[in-house]
Amino acid sequence: MTPPDTPSNRWSDLGRPPLNVTALRRGLVRPEALWSALEVVQSTGSTNSDLAARADALTEGTVLVAEEQTAGRGRLERTWTAPPRSGLFLSVYLEPAEVPVERWGWLPLLTGVAAATGLAKSAGVDMALKWPNDLLTSVDGEERKAGGILAERAGNGVVIGLGVNVSLRADELPAPAAGSLALAGAVSTDRETLLRAVLRSLEHWYGRWRAAGGDAAASGLQAAYAAGCATLDRQVRAELPGGRSLVGEAVAIDGDGRLVLSTEGGLQQPVSAGDIVHLRGARGGLT
């Protein structure tokens, strides 16, 4: 038997209790709901990899949550690690068959809007979006990354991963630019409350977007993303594939979800992929 005070025991950190999977299923998995199955595992390498590996056998709305993720992946093959039960580490499988595939690129941005809105309401902190896949919050007046999103094609649909730092203390942060909901002054760091809020918000936005045939403007998604995007109206540097970079003012999110930069000489150039560095200025937030 494992002694109760060993690090591997799921109750070893009483300030970070385990999720109650029965209660979560009762509240989220219903016949009329998007969420068709919900599983919580104690530890895994990557929830995205796990779902992608069995995508052909999944039903839409499958949710996989990990108490600990040891090889979490972000954009550009970056790793994401955090202490057990210190955050939300989950992936969902969506299969929007009625939406043209060319509009599926909006799914990670949709997840950002849903997560930021759900977390702002349930944790009581201002959240903002950094294009394309980061969740930002403010810690001691400084903009910090509190979460990230990774979407990958799998089977007949898309696996979308979400990682959010919830209760991490300053000495646990993986990087100087990282933050957490607790450090941002969250009124609640109860992960069950936060998880329910995020998944319900995601169900709401996904339903609107799907009902509009994936049209981001008609569903209100494009406007909502722009309203909460901290990247807009700022000077940024886009580090593009192939080692190129582009500096300009971020002026819009276009109908394809691309970031439009106004560069020297007044040219407007859409960026569909790249790493964005905020150079100066600030705006945005979803409450």
Cα–Cα nearest to 94, from 59, 127, 66: 59
With contact defined as beta carbons under 8 Å apart, do 286 and 120 qualify? yes
Is 89 exposed, middle or buried (CB count within 10 Å of its CB: 0-12, 13-18, 19+)? buried
Give the predicted TM-score (pTM) of the model.
0.92
What is the pLDDT, as a whole number, of residue 283?
56
Domains, the chain:
21-227 (3.30.930.10), 232-280 (2.30.30.100)
- pLDDT, residue 285, reads 62
pLDDT at position 76 is 47
pLDDT for 284 equals: 54
Q: In what order do the strands lie in the sheet with 235-239?
A: 268-271, 259-262, 245-253, 235-239, 275-280
- Helix 21-28 vs helix 191-211: angle between axes, to the nearest 10 degrees? 30
- pLDDT for residue 12: 52
H-helix or E-strand spanning residue 22: helix 21-28
For 220, left (φ over 0), alpha (ψ -120 to 50), or beta?
A: left
Per residue of the chain (287 residues), give pLDDT as tens.
334 444 445 555 668 999 999 999 999 999 999 999 999 999 999 999 999 999 999 999 999 999 999 976 555 456 667 899 999 999 999 999 999 999 999 999 999 999 999 999 999 999 999 999 999 999 999 999 999 999 999 999 999 999 999 999 999 999 999 999 999 999 999 999 999 999 999 999 999 999 999 999 999 999 999 999 999 999 999 999 889 999 999 999 999 999 999 998 889 999 999 899 999 765 556 65
The amino acid sitting at 238 is A
How far apart, in whole angstroms, are the C-alpha atoms of residue 43 and residue 174? 19
Burial class from Cβ neighbours inside 10 Å (0-12, 13-18, 19+) for residue 233 reads middle
Residue type, 61: G
Q: How far apart are CA 39 and CA 44, in angstroms?
A: 12
Q: What pLDDT shows up at residue 15?
A: 84
